[in-house]
Amino acid sequence: MSDGPAILLTNDDGIDAPGIATLRTELTAFGDVTVVAPDANQSGVGRTRSHTARIREHPWGYRLSGTPADCVAYGLRGLETDFDVVVSGVNNGPNAGNYVVGRSGTVGAGIEAAFLGTPALAISAYHSTDFFLSPPEEYDFARPARIAGRLVSRALESGVYEDVDLLNVNAPVDASSPPVILTEPYHDYEQDVEPADPEALDDGEIDADGGELAADEQIVHLHDRTWPGVVGWENPFPPTDEHRERYPVGTDRRAMVDAAVSVSPLSMSHASPDSAALAEVVETIDVE
């Protein structure tokens, strides 16, 4: 038992992913780390919660048949430890931009922690040229893990979490001395909706009911255009003047164009804006 903070560690790539192993090693250097992580990959599930989950002991803590948010809920409310902070990651691939942050399982774990009253940090790794780390076993997560460890330690010591609920961090694995930039998630999102040919779809792409389509039914593709102009899995942040102009200085995506570490402070307060127009509308509503 150390004198350092009690840290709950989770991820969304699964407890057997290399990123969480590297991060656990880094965090145990200064804190008491308990791992509660998903049995299998849970990428992209956001803050989805389950009604039940199967829990098994693991040498690091526990593995759970659920989502990252389930893991955090179990760790903070199902264990007797009073955790000082929740750390999620290291994720295989970045989580940048307001839409991606909203659907990320890595960030979703941090959001769940914040709603349950415990500060959090979500750490994701990217490669400035390869972008996604695939296969992850061929990449070194040590630098993002070190950055997460230093941020967590100093944030707890300096009182950062008195004003901030969650730090969302994206760190490159291939830049030897990357600058660390205070950022905010870039605000963009677009959706393409296109009719699909049922004959060309695999069974897994059709809803669970399956069967023949009725006369008044159709199937559509719902494709989010998170990164404009990207084809396949190519890097949407090549270091070009075009991309530097697209993403403003101070955004997480611009930091990634420059192979930097982005640190975005987030709040879960959901503060209500002061709207005089809404107040006027509410006053005019009559209920009979």
| Binding-site residue positions | 12-13, 43, 91
| Binding-site residue positions for a divalent metal cation | 12-13, 43, 91
Distance CA 123, CA 130 (A): 18
Rg over alpha carbons for the chain, rounded to the nearest Å, is 21
Quick check: helix, strand or coil at residue 57?
strand
Contact 169, 147 (CB under 8 A): yes
Percent helix, strand, coil in the chain (nearest 5)?
A: 30, 25, 45
Distance CA 155, CA 205 (A): 44
Residue indicated by tokens 């296109």: 194
229: left (phi over 0), alpha (psi -120 to 50) or beta: left
